[in-house]
Amino acid sequence: MGGDELTHSNFDFSGFDVPELKAVTLAASGQPDETRAVGEGKAGKSGKAGKAGKSRNRKTNPSKKGANVAKDSKNKKERIGLFTPMGLRDVTVRNRIWLPPMCTYSAFARDGKPTPFHYQHYVSRAFGGFGLIIAEATAVTPEGRISPCDVGLWEDGQIDAWRWIVDGIRNAGAVPAVQLNHAGRKASTGCFAVGYEGQSVPQEAGGWPTVAPSAIEFGGLNKPRELSVDEIHGIVGAFAAAAGRAVAAGFQAIEIHAAHGYLISEFLDPLCNERTDEYGGDLEGRARFLLEVVDAVRATIPEGMPVLVRISATDWAAGGWDLDQTIVVAKMLKEHGVDLVDVSTGGIMAGVSIPIKANYQVPFSEQVRLKAEVPTTAVGLITKPKQANKIVARGEADAVEIGRAALRDPYWPLRAANKLGVPATEAPYQPQYIRGAY
Ligand SMILES: Cc1cc2nc3c(=O)[nH]c(=O)nc-3n(C[C@H](O)[C@H](O)[C@H](O)COP(=O)(O)O)c2cc1C
């Protein structure tokens, strides 16, 4: 970026810092609203006001259409819904609507530092009411980037670039998490800002040679080099160091990316791990790298900080990675101090057919949750509030993640609250936005 441009480092945000700012409600504020325009009514005894209040009353009337989560949770205390807070170690997440990690390929300076774009992207979704916000795949080494424009935490200079974003998320009442990743054989690929989308970026355009458990390429990407055992140990250390930097930046949870065909899932899958040493062979060998990463991260971060692992529950290929192996590994993860498994699928093998439709990954989450007895999240074409609420209420997942639907609607949780009959006074509105409540 040019020297005159506004960045996190040259803009003074101190005047905007409101520590401990929580989403407040009209009822909780207890203040008569003297600026309310004529015709919008006045705050009455109930604290509900005029047109906006009537609209909320209508929408929250349990006799009208829509599941009334608030009423349900009063009547049946044990009933869990989207807006039931969730505890993970020392962290309480305000609801079960989470933002999954989604690459934005927007570290345009190619230095791994998030930018004002990332601030706006993540903080607006925190304003929109998401409970946990998992920042996109963040590289633990420069060679571990999916694209040249990925963000990273591979050096200390990146910590400050994250801190203002993390503070912004926290001040908006959401919990900031970061997904740590090494892209393995799927590193050095193109993106909208670089070109070469879906291909390997040539070295003359800023690409680099890739590494993997075995020298087997993915689709049409460049062939990776097999990692030595020393290099594997080095990458385990890089995950731990990046986790330490995440703590320094103020993140409250770490997600380890063990899904979608990036380095850790390449080790897990027998179709791309042909090693004959201790990091290959049977499931114990193939899971060794993941468990070493988990142990190293756990040993680096505070005891009260949750660790999540995102896993592909199947590679959708015959003879490859499947749900049974996922369940075995999920049990291992639990024993190694992982607090939640974020259940996705696919991305490991090219050319497979995936039965994509609404909820298509939910049964995997349900099975992992039941059989490994570990909390899970479900993700993948969950787009509608009632659909999402059912997944949580039925115990198919402890939380849902809303991905692409959140790219088009950062305020998805506030809309969901309205659809589900949660009173605006109990929905995660920012105080500045309560006047615009549904
Ligand atoms: C633009 C984009 C970027 C993504 N980047 C990541 C990522 O960094 N890490 C990851 O684990 N999944 C990533 N995903 C997958 C999403 O987290 C999510 O699992 C997927 O989009 C399915 O959920 P949805 O149907 O709600 O979008 C990405 C998806 C999209 C659309």
First CA to last CA across the chain, in angstroms?
39
Q: Where are the beta strands (DSSP E) in 91-174?
A: 91-93, 97-98, 132-139
Q: Which atom of ligand 1 is nearest to the CA of 404?
A: 27
pLDDT of residue 266: 98
* Model confidence band, residue 63 (pLDDT cutoffs 50, 70, 90): very low
For residue 182, is pLDDT > 70? yes
* Model confidence band, residue 77 (pLDDT cutoffs 50, 70, 90): low
d(CA 422, CA 252) in angstroms, rounded, equals 27
pLDDT of residue 353: 96
Smallest CA separation from ligand 1 atom 30, residue? 102
Q: Which of 102, 308, 407 to mutate to test the pocket of ligand 1 (most atoms within 8 A of CB)?
A: 102
For residue 61, is pLDDT > 50? no
3-state secondary structure of 196: strand
Q: Does residue 18 fall inside a structural domain?
A: no
Phi and psi angles of residue 47, each rounded to the nearest 5 degrees, phi first: 85, -5
Q: Does residue 429 fall inside a structural domain?
A: no
Say yes or no: CB of residue 381 within 6 Å of ligand 1: yes
Q: Which of 19-23, 77-81, 195-199, 230-234 has the lowest mean pLDDT?
A: 19-23
Whether 65 contacts 421, CB under 8 Å: no
For residue 12, is pLDDT > 70? no
What's the Cα-to-Cα distance from 243 to each of 131, 190, 230, 345, rounded to whole Å? 21, 26, 20, 24
d(CA 322, CA 314) in angstroms, rounded, equals 4
d(CA 57, CA 400) in angstroms, rounded, equals 27
* Model confidence band, residue 17 (pLDDT cutoffs 50, 70, 90): very low
Instruction: Give the Å distance between the CA of 372 and the centre of ligand 1.
Output: 24
Q: Does residue 171 fall inside a structural domain?
A: yes
For residue 331, is pLDDT > 80? yes
For residue 52, is pLDDT > 80? no
Whether 188 contacts 200, CB under 8 Å: yes
Q: Does residue 63 fall inside a structural domain?
A: no
For residue 243, is pLDDT > 70? yes
Instruction: Give the Å distance between the CA of 90 and the centre of ligand 1.
Output: 27
Q: Does residue 135 fall inside a structural domain?
A: yes
Q: Which of 97, 103, 255 to mutate to test the pocket of ligand 1 (most atoms within 8 A of CB)?
A: 103
- Global pTM reads 0.86
Say yes or no: CB of residue 354 within 6 Å of ligand 1: no
Determine the structural domain holding residue 296 and report its residue range: 75-420
Q: Which atom of ligand 1 is nearest to the CA of 405?
A: 26
In terms of Cα–Cα distance, which of 101, 99, 90 is closest to 126? 99
Residue identified by tokens 């407040």 is 24
Q: Does residue 45 fall inside a structural domain?
A: no
Percent of the chain with pLDDT over 90: 82
Q: What tokens does 386 get?
A: 């009632």
Percent of the chain with pLDDT over 70: 82
Say yes or no: CB of residue 275 within 6 Å of ligand 1: no
Q: What one-letter code names the amino acid at 231?
A: E
| Chain-centroid distance, C-alpha 438 | 26
For residue 11, is pLDDT > 80? no
Say yes or no: CB of residue 347 within 6 Å of ligand 1: no
* CATH number for position 85: 3.20.20.70
Q: Which of 15-19, 118-122, 346-350 has the lowest mean pLDDT?
A: 15-19
pLDDT of residue 124: 98
Instruction: Give the Å distance between the CA of 294 and the centre of ligand 1.
Output: 22
Say yes or no: CB of residue 340 within 6 Å of ligand 1: no
Q: Does residue 21 fall inside a structural domain?
A: no
| Mean pLDDT, rounded, of the chain | 87
Instruction: Give the Å distance between the CA of 346 and the centre of ligand 1.
Output: 11
pLDDT of residue 79: 86
Instruction: Give the Å distance between the CA of 100 and the centre of ligand 1.
Output: 6
| Average confidence (pLDDT) over 75-88 | 84
Q: Which residue has the higher pLDDT, 163 or 8?
A: 163
Say yes or no: CB of residue 101 within 6 Å of ligand 1: yes
| Average confidence (pLDDT) over 378-398 | 98
| Average confidence (pLDDT) over 186-191 | 98
Instruction: Give the Å distance between the CA of 143 and the centre of ligand 1.
Output: 21
Say yes or no: CB of residue 379 within 6 Å of ligand 1: yes
Whether 112 contacts 154, CB under 8 Å: yes
Instruction: Give the Å distance between the CA of 268 and the centre of ligand 1.
Output: 20
Q: How many domains does the chain have?
A: 1
| Average confidence (pLDDT) over 138-163 | 98
Q: Which residue has the higher pLDDT, 209 or 67?
A: 209
For residue 285, is pLDDT > 50? yes
d(CA 172, CA 284) in angstroms, rounded, equals 42
Q: What tokens does 306 get?
A: 């949750």
Say yes or no: CB of residue 380 within 6 Å of ligand 1: yes
Smallest CA separation from ligand 1 atom 10, residue? 101
Say yes or no: CB of residue 137 within 6 Å of ligand 1: yes
**Which residue numbers are catalytic?**
262
For residue 387, is pLDDT > 50? yes
In terms of Cα–Cα distance, which of 340, 339, 376 is closest to 361? 376
Say yes or no: CB of residue 179 within 6 Å of ligand 1: yes
pLDDT of residue 78: 64
Smallest CA separation from ligand 1 atom 21, residue? 403
Q: Does residue 425 fall inside a structural domain?
A: no
* Model confidence band, residue 362 (pLDDT cutoffs 50, 70, 90): very high
* Model confidence band, residue 38 (pLDDT cutoffs 50, 70, 90): very low
Q: Which of 34-38, 135-139, 256-260 has the lowest mean pLDDT?
A: 34-38
